Chains A and B, each alone.
Chain A
Amino acid sequence: MSGNPGNARAERRTRLAAAMAEEGIDVLVVAGNPWRSDYLRFAADITPVEGHAFAFIEREGPARIIVESPSEAARLRSEQAELDVRWSLSAIEETETAIRELGKRRIALAPLAAVPYRLAMGPLVAGIARATALLDRLMLRKSPSEIAALRRAAVLADEGYTVFREAARVGRPEYALVADVEAFFRSRGCPENFQILGSGGREVRGMHPPTERRLAPGDLVTTELTPCVEGYYAQICRTLVLGEPSEPQERAFAVYDEALEAGIAAVRPGATAGDVARAQNEIFRRHGLGDYVTSEYTRVRGHGLGLYVDGRPALLEDVDLNLEPDMTLIVHPNTYHPEVGYFVHGDSVRVITDGCEVLTRTPRRLFSVPLA
């Protein structure tokens, strides 16, 4: 599954250096942690496993990194020998000092989601939003090597769903399904996957991490799989039935399939994220299910994909961000259905000049798993 991570790294740094020059930034200080590692991955090609990490990005030359533990520092040095990595029990304080030592150079701090209080209380607070917007712009449209990584992640998502289908058997606990899928991803060299699932009937209102619940005949089993290749996440959402689907389950599937088709058909340059959400929601409204596309029952109708599992833009009717070629998204009309329970159905797509390319290839079916 390996591509050429060095190419992506160099490509990102070139784009970032150009954007920094345009914005008049000499040094960009990027904060991150295991929850928000996306901006650090983009700017310095590092993924923190534990603790806070800060990267000092100059327009030229290798990044300087400050982390919180010696093991993280050693790991990052072994991944990129050219990095200047230091560690400190007070990494934030150390970063504050390092910023001060930069003197009168033009410094910016980002991203908003990961900048800690102590640094934001300093002199760089006014520029956080602008520097975050700079990175967001760069991260929205993917370069060829980023698209290549996403394609490989999409292939893994499809393969992972096959493993999930094979794992879903009556009597198995939900967490055993996740064990099988995670083991598969590891066997393919994939270190990260975001996965939630649900099982049961009308009482199921959403997905969650796996529980001890054992699968039962007639269950709808939903999952959202999001494997990661070189930092880039692709996602697939599918629903299966243990046994033969009931008539209400088949009817429900038809609505979600129609909504997914409509959402994907709406993805093209010039359309807004809101248009894609609206196209999906209109199908539900037409079928008398308009209540179930509100925040009471669902969150978003999809979202951006890239170095973060839940990236910009959120596909919601009031989001007016214009889609552009090489943005990557998951379109998923996932929501509760009053007759059958929570239902998911979604594919990863890439915006292209005349529409979109669907990256995940798993058939759009209501999968049925034999009971025997």
Chain B
Amino acid sequence: MRRGLISWSRDEVPLSVLEGRVVRLQERMRAAELGAVLVYTSFARPSAVAWLTHFVPYWNEALLVVFPTGAPVLLAAFSKRVHDWIRSVSHLGEVRSAPDLGRATAAFLKERPPQPPRIGVLELDTLPWPVAEPLVKSEYGRGLVDATGLFASIRQPADEVEIRLARRAATIAVQTFKAIPTEAKHASELLSALERSARLDGAEEVLPRLAPDLRADATLRRLEGDALLGERYAVELSVAYKATWVRITRCVSTQAVPPSWRGAADRFVETVERLNEANLSLEPQFGPGKTVAWTLETCRGSPPLSIVATGETPSPLALPGGSLACLSLQLDLDDGPWLGGAPLILGSGGQPSRLLIS
């Protein structure tokens, strides 16, 4: 439960871009005859509200109420004295104190009745029950509908602003990999260096996962305590910069880089180039090595990244060309496992996908 720098730069994320996203949502709401859309946010699910308003909760929870016209209202379970900070990092019409978020939302809807009385809820199935229950029991209970598809329909492809933020996040990650101490023997030394570098570079968040001894086990782990680093290890960095997340995975060898890894890296690039909106599958594949697992993720709702396709799911979800996504790939090479991952812009109209940064 950690957050680094949270700030809003109007140059990087212009007010007009945030307002434009809200307007797109409102257009879809009107077409769907929704009188309001409710978007929940918490430390674990910050991305939808952040995309619309630039607000990222460092703890606690809040609910964004979007009406068919006008600026969104944030009902925040934070104490009032935090409102100035909330306003300093986000673009909102109104911020209201809502210690009991569910009841406060029901009361707010009574005060500002949505017209028409149908209310869309992003990811309704996942809404925490203390928030949902008062709504279910309110006069709008029967009018609650899931707005996940509606929101997803405007969320991707990514706009230029989001791509720039993602590129910055990816650059932070790449610089962070460069901070890996060459002599590190323990995971704690490595993680400490990664943490410092990413945060000094302005990361809002960095979540490292580590396979400390790649030849023994390629599972990326969240470490509590410490572990000895093997001769080869792998690091996955999930980095957020101004609410935009990317995931990058790299293998590290304390000896000379194995030639097989160069081939694997080339294969990764070729794989990315073959992906496009019409083809979200990695098969068939050409060497080197055997594909063990792969995952394509994007942001289309409140989780920072969620799965679009994996090697284990037969039917990938649709994703439009121009979407920002992250590909993670695990190969079994002749001399052991290899892991790679990078953000990409999904190709469209027969054009190949391209890596966000080379």
User: What residues of chain A have their CB less than 8 Å away from a CB belonging to chain B?
Assistant: 1-2, 5, 33-36, 47, 49-52, 68-71, 74-75, 77-79, 89, 92-93, 112-118, 120-121, 125, 128, 173-176, 178-180, 182-184, 186-196, 205-206, 208-212, 230-231, 295-299, 309-310, 336
Contacts and interface: CB of A to CB of B under 8 A. Distances in A.
B175 interface: no
Nearest to A196: B58
Interface of B: 1-7, 42-45, 58-59, 61, 79-82, 84-85, 124-130, 132-133, 136, 188-189, 191-196, 199-200, 202, 207, 209, 217, 219-226, 293, 295, 303-307, 310, 312-313, 328
Contacts of A180: 196
Nearest to A229: B224
Contacts of B220: 71, 74-75
B125 A116 contact: yes
Contact of A78 (B191, B217, B305): B217
B223 A183 contact: no
6 contacts: A33-B44, A70-B312, A175-B199, A183-B192, A189-B188, A206-B82
Most buried by B among A52, A120, A182, A188: A182
Contacts of B42: 33, 35
Contact of A191 (B84, B136, B223): B223
A191 B224 contact: yes
Contact of A92 (B3, B125, B130, B224): B125
B129 A179 contact: no
Contacts of B224: 2, 5, 189-191, 230-231
Given A117-B132, A182-B2, A206 B85 contact: yes
B6 to A, nearest CB: 4
A336 B85 CA distance: 15
B244 to A, nearest CB: 16
Most chain A CB within 10 A, of B5, B133, B303, is at B5
Contacts of B191: 186-187
The 5 lowest CB-CB distance pairs between A and B, nearest first, are A179-B199, A183-B196, A187-B192, A118-B125, A35-B44
Nearest to A77: B219
A30 B350 CA distance: 46
Given A70-B293, A187-B188, A209-B5, A194 B59 contact: yes
Contact of B126 (A36, A117, A189, A205): A117
Contacts of B124: 117-118
A12 B44 CA distance: 25
Contact of A175 (B43, B129, B132, B202): B202
Nearest to B303: A51
Contacts of B202: 175
Contacts of A184: 192
B186 to A, nearest CB: 9
Contacts of A208: 6, 58, 82, 85
A85 to B, nearest CB: 12
A209 B81 contact: no
A69 B295 CA distance: 9
B116 to A, nearest CB: 22
Nearest to A187: B192
Nearest to B135: A117
A10 B125 CA distance: 33
A39 B44 CA distance: 15
Given A79-B221, A117-B129, A206-B81, A179 B2 contact: no
A27 B209 CA distance: 32
A94 to B, nearest CB: 12
B102 to A, nearest CB: 11
Given A120-B132, A179-B195, A205 B84 contact: yes
A210 B189 contact: no
A297 B7 CA distance: 23
A250 B74 CA distance: 38
A128 B129 contact: yes
A194 B2 CA distance: 5
A183 B2 contact: no
A190 B222 CA distance: 11
Contacts of A191: 222-224
Contacts of A115: 128-129
B222 A75 contact: yes
Contacts of A336: 81
A175 B81 contact: no
B222 A179 contact: no
Contacts of A182: 2, 4, 195-196, 199
A186 B192 contact: yes
Nearest to B190: A186
B103 to A, nearest CB: 14
Nearest to A32: B44
A209 B6 contact: yes
Nearest to A96: B125
Contact of B81 (A92, A117, A176, A296): A296
Given A34-B44, A116-B126, A230-B224, 14 more contacts: A1-B225, A35-B1, A89-B307, A118-B126, A175-B4, A178-B199, A179-B196, A180-B196, A183-B196, A184-B192, A192-B1, A208-B82, A209-B6, A336-B81
